[in-house]
Amino acid sequence: MQPHSADASRPKLTSRGAATRNRIVLAAAELMHVRGVAATTIDEVLAASVTSKSQFYQHFADKTELVYDVITLRADEILAWQRLRLEKVDSFRGLYQWRDAMVQRCTLRHGLWGCELGSLAAELSDTDDKARASLAEHFAEWRAILAGALERMRDGGVLRPDIDAPGLATGLLAAVEGGYLLSQTAHDPRLMQTALNSAIGHITSFVRDGAALHD
């Protein structure tokens, strides 16, 4: 579910209008990730996006509509990043390379600010059911991408045929989100690697006899 806020009654956007809308959403996404949704005001978004209040209300009825577009933007960014690094994974070498990319992503920010989707979920899930449902679907899609990698490892003879790929994928995603949270609170991105090593270590217990393990 992607809660696009566009009203069906609104005219189709011109290229200039689309660029303005995109600029507003990008600015809001950055501010909300650093400051939180509740602490980010429309006036701050207008200043960051160099747009006027009249331009804002041409595209959004209120801040809530903007938040839904921010969720969609962040989900699209994160899932595209995950697909790029997971869609061809079929070995532990590939899984460890994904882990390294996750750790690097966290390290570049020194552990600050956490996961873009996770932060939104923590703030919105108990107060906005539409946002919660959308975020739940995006996380389910992320789990499915991870499960796909594990299924390829199973089909290629690396993992046993009786693995619960969705269950193991849930463990990996929980390690990602927990790693982000611990890295954020400690300002130490090494905790992301520790969390992912633990989750991948559990997956190694399902290695098929004779399969290669690479770290």
CATH 3.40.50.150 given to domain 70-204: no
List the domain boundaries for the chain. Answer: 15-65, 70-204
The CATH number corresponding to 15-65 among 1.10.4160, 3.30.70, 1.10.10, 2.40.128 equals 1.10.10
Angstrom CA distances, 110 to 6, 7, 45, 194, stand at 36, 39, 25, 15
Contact 40, 24 (CB under 8 A): no
Cα four-point dihedral sign 173, 178, 180, 181: positive
Q: Residue 70: CB partners within 8 Å, gap ≥ 6?
A: 25, 28, 29, 32, 120
Distance in angstroms (rounded) separating the CA atoms of residues 74 and 25 = 10
pLDDT truncated to tens, each residue of the chain (215 aa)?
445 444 444 557 788 889 999 999 999 999 999 999 999 999 999 999 999 999 999 999 999 999 999 999 999 999 999 999 999 999 999 999 999 999 999 988 776 778 999 999 999 999 999 999 999 999 999 999 999 999 999 999 999 999 999 999 999 999 999 999 999 999 999 999 999 999 999 999 999 987 767 64
In sequence order, which residues have a C-beta less than 8 Å from that of residue 99 and are 6 or more positions away? 193, 196, 197, 200
Domain 15-65 shares a fold with domain 70-204: no
